[in-house]
Amino acid sequence: MRDEQLDAQAAAGRRGRRRRRRRGQNRRGLYLLPHLITTANLSFGFFAIVQSFAGRHDLAALGIVLAAVADGIDGRVARLAGSSSRFGVEYDSIADTVSFGVAPAMLAFAAGNLHVLGRPGWVMAFTFTVCAALRLARFNVSPGRYKGRFEGMPSPAAACMVAATQWFVSFLRENGIGVSVPEWAVACGVVALGLLMVSPIPYRSGKELDLRHSFGTLVLVVIALLLVVQEPSVTLFALGVAYVFSGPVDWLWRRYTGAHLEEIPRDPVLESEPKLRG
């Protein structure tokens, strides 16, 4: 009888060890998943750069948009898996610099023929890259001053604006509308987007959308998705333009009316700590 009890205890111990190993493997898998999504973000950015060099500008724009989708997923997955870490923050920032700093600048430089401007052309394209890098570095140490707002235009939104513009111009040309955008206009547009990224102008955060308790917001999101499915080139360009101008217009309106945004309480201890991925 005693031997049977010992055998049962040993078997239970083995089963417990197997369960702990499986849980550990699951935790490791969940820890790696956000990093794999960030790697996908980086790969899409690299893909966009290669396609820009090859002259396939619409494919380059697709790579930037897919990188933005991956960037929007990795932080949420990290929080759900409880695997946020400083390594994830740094890796995410490096990937974002490539996908939303270098890739859009290369697309604008190649598709906008900025090489004909000589040195000013590549300097103005580089301005977008350096502004995106500065914007990402600032976000890592200070997400923003106001509740529900980004400080400056988010780099994925600026990058997607470049991609959406490329798709919109291609759409017009495919439909027999001859469009010739001057090189200086492309260069100035890229610089303007870069300056908006490093500006203190607050931009609305999509994370604050309440789809569970606001029926009107849900309806608007569904309509926007249907329009994107119907004609993505036109819809994404229109949404991008609206978002780009929403920050300055809202800022000017508040200055005119004297309205104020709700500020986030500052915690000196938290500000000295590195921000987790999100």
Burial of residue 246, with CB atoms counted within 10 A of its CB: 0-12 exposed, 13-18 middle, 19 or more buried: middle
- pLDDT-derived band at 87, boundaries 50, 70, 90: confident
How high is the pLDDT of residue 264? 74
Tally the C-alpha atoms within 13 A of residue 87's C-alpha that lie toward its C-beta: 5
Is residue 226 scored above 80 in pLDDT?
A: no
CA distance 108 to 128: 10
More confident residue, 17 or 76: 76
How high is the pLDDT of residue 86? 81
Measure Cα distances from 46 to 51, 62, 75, 125, 233 in Å.
Answer: 9, 12, 20, 17, 22
* Residue 11: inside a domain: no
More confident residue, 134 or 223: 134
* Residue 28: inside a domain: yes
How high is the pLDDT of residue 10? 55
Percent of the chain scoring above 90 in pLDDT:
49
Can you read off the two tokens belonging to residue 69? 């989708």
* Residue 4: inside a domain: no
* Residue 81: inside a domain: yes
Total domains in the chain come to 1
How high is the pLDDT of residue 13? 55
More confident residue, 274 or 234: 234
How high is the pLDDT of residue 196? 96
* Residue 123: inside a domain: yes
- pLDDT-derived band at 35, boundaries 50, 70, 90: confident
For 114, residues 6+ apart whose C-beta sits below 8 A from its C-beta are 108, 121, 122, 124, 125, 183, 186, 187
259-278 per-position pLDDT tens digit: 877 777 765 544 554 444 44
Burial of residue 207, with CB atoms counted within 10 A of its CB: 0-12 exposed, 13-18 middle, 19 or more buried: exposed
- pLDDT-derived band at 89, boundaries 50, 70, 90: confident
* Residue 206: inside a domain: yes
How high is the pLDDT of residue 212? 57
- Judge contact between 165 and 59, C-beta under 8 A: no
147-172 per-position pLDDT tens digit: 878 889 999 999 999 999 999 999 99
Is residue 52 scored above 90 in pLDDT?
A: yes
Burial of residue 239, with CB atoms counted within 10 A of its CB: 0-12 exposed, 13-18 middle, 19 or more buried: middle
For 149, residues 6+ apart whose C-beta sits below 8 A from its C-beta are 202, 203, 204, 205, 261
* Residue 278: inside a domain: no
Burial of residue 277, with CB atoms counted within 10 A of its CB: 0-12 exposed, 13-18 middle, 19 or more buried: buried
The C-alpha angle with vertex 176 and arms to 175 and 177, in degrees rounded to 5, equals: 95
Name the DSSP letter for residue 146: B
Name the DSSP letter for residue 19: H
Is residue 84 scored above 50 in pLDDT?
A: yes
Model pTM score: 0.80
* Residue 116: inside a domain: yes
Task: Let me know how long the chain is.
Answer: 278
Q: What is the CATH number of the domain that holds 140?
A: 1.20.120.1760
Domain span at residue 138?
A: 16-258
How high is the pLDDT of residue 181? 85
Q: 3-state class of 62 per DSSP?
A: helix
Mean pLDDT of 85-114: 92
Please state the three-class secondary structure of 157-173 as a single string.
HHHHHHHHHHHHHHHHH
